[in-house]
With several copies, the nearest count.
Chain A
Amino acid sequence: MSMDGRKHTLLLGALMAPAAAFFLAFWLLPMARLVGVGASGPQGMGAYWSVLTNQNYLTSLIYTFVLSALVTLATLVISCIAGLFLERNRFPGRSLLLAVLTFPLAFPGVVVGFLIILLCGRQGLIGDLTKWLTGEKLVLAYSLSGLFLGYLYFSIPRVILTVMAAAEKLDYALVEAARTLGASPLQIVRDVTLPALGPALVSSGAICFATSVGAFGTAFTLATNITVLPMLIYNEFTNYANIPVAAALSVVLGVVTWAVLALARSVAGNTVTVAA
């Protein structure tokens, strides 16, 4: 940028500075207060400590993060295969298939939870099918499996689209070069395709993780027997009015998610949070 251009925008910035400062204050204040509230209970900083020592809280933390990590892994594997296949092949009905695959993007978490109940709840499709097949009704919706399926349902479309966009940018000459050098299809996937998709996979994986950790509507609708972290926060806050613990849990959740996003950004570049 030229000096004149810079001078110009800095001037604009100076004019905006009061507005910006005001805005920033209201942006930061609640977050600062959140951290403070976490340390304001009868136990003081103890709320943070209890979050990591109390059996209930710790279980919820671990369940939430492990579940989200597993969802992320499964989403990446499925989306990578499907996305590469869809990008590489043109066949009749492809656009329709794409539209259908990405339809869940239009549903909020509550509706996704609803869909999971319709699929594998007490009156669900899988229940009917398994009863007819084995005499036993298989009900997954209210367990960890139901949550897992629900999270997959809204994670897969995003990641498929990200993989397709990245695969579209892959220079096909790289694949041809590897072929003339003797590489087999699997070697090409290992040495050319996956490295090229790397940043997109890291960034969409991080976002998938963040979204899963924060998913509330799905878990709440399913009313699962596992209390995931956002539900726990909601309960502590609304039902038990245990505000310091709710704040401490929020801070822990925020810090972990932020760390994952920041890590991914440092690996994959700036696109990460853009797509978040």
Chain B
Amino acid sequence: MSTSTAISILQCGKTYPNGTRALETVDLEVVSGETLVLLGPSGCGKTSLLRMIAGLESPDAGGRILFGSEDVTAQPPETRNVGMVFQSYALFPNMTVAQNVGYGLRIRRLPEERRRARVAEMLEMVQLSALSARRIDQLSGGQRQRVALARAIAVTPRVLLLDEPLTALDAKLRESLRVDIDTLLRKAGITAIYVTHDQAEAMALGDRIVVMDHGEIVQIGSPTQIYHAPANAFVADFVGSVNRLQGNVQDGVWRCGNAALPWPADAPVGGVVMVRPEDLRLGHEAAGAISGTLTARYFLGNRTRLLVDIGQGAPVLVDTSERGEFALASQVHLRIDPATMIVLPA
């Protein structure tokens, strides 16, 4: 349907007039047709990077942005032909749903009839055909979000840019729209760059995830790479919960409590061992396990989160899907599958 474009970001940094460094100098290649997620806490530079691609901000001198082989660095947003979805939706309150969706086509002086057809097609795509004559303030949050998406896609942009499009919605709606957006992007085959601070959103949507922190790119990888093999402690913490376990390495064996696991050959000397809460299994005997006392439990429906004190300061978090009583103050024995151990440089 739409012609998707690869994007190259070359040596782009961003310093504001007051001296704030929003983005260190970075390089990034976006593959044609993929959904790339920029993930990080607020202030990490992800939005600056997105706005640079839109042309709403310009990179510091020396930075270049290519759409395919065309250098667009000097082009204003008006001529870049990007579609952008804003966190606040930024729908025009003085126009109807159909007028919003057709605005980019009107600016492009598309003949009335073709415009009408394209708007109808877009509204059908986001399942809002029935609401085309509505005013924006008559729509729910989720409907506004879909109108914003339709408006951005209607002009067949070279790249679709999404700036935290789901942040303003509540949890249940966010989850269902996440699936809708994913389906839509895959059907359209459009290159999309998606900014979010929500790791669940990033993992559900991204072909690749770019984790950012303090204006720098920390790791680029598939969702499973990011989650199971984080590049550093920041990434491990940011994408899900993680336990730091203190142990001793001797003769290629890592020991913590009664547990003894083979130390990976490629692990850094003095490396820190981390295990995710769902990778700790409850066992029945102390032999070969890390033992501790259950200090708190939270039933979360599909799992129960246990807090276990193993005498290492912060309690160890354990997620289990077992149904049990989990009596407080009882002894608990934790086993680790060696394959789930994450070892990071100290």
Contacts and interface: CB of A to CB of B under 8 A. Distances in A.
Contact of B78 (A184, A192, A198): A184
B84 interface: yes
A171 B88 contact: yes
Nearest to A8: B76
A173 B86 contact: yes
Most buried by A among B79, B91, B107: B107
Nearest to B84: A180
B190 interface: no
A2 B51 contact: yes
A94 interface: no
Interface residues of B, number: 32
A183 B104 CA distance: 8
Contacts of A33: none
A182 interface: yes
B57 A180 contact: no
Contact of B103 (A171, A181, A184): A181
B215 interface: no
A29 interface: no
A198 B77 CA distance: 26
Given A4-B76, A182-B107, A177 B90 contact: yes
Interface in B62-111: 76-84, 86-88, 90-95, 103-104, 107-108
Interface size class of A (residues with CB under 8 A): 20 to 34
B54 interface: yes
Contact of B108 (A2, A182, A191): A182
Interface in A1-52: 2-4
Interface in A147-179: 171, 173-174, 176-179
Contacts of A180: 54-56, 77-78, 80, 82-84, 152, 161
A183 B82 CA distance: 12
A187 interface: yes
A195 interface: yes
6 contacts: A4-B55, A178-B92, A180-B84, A182-B79, A191-B103, A198-B94
4 closest Cβ contacts across the A-B interface?
A181-B104, A195-B94, A173-B90, A177-B90
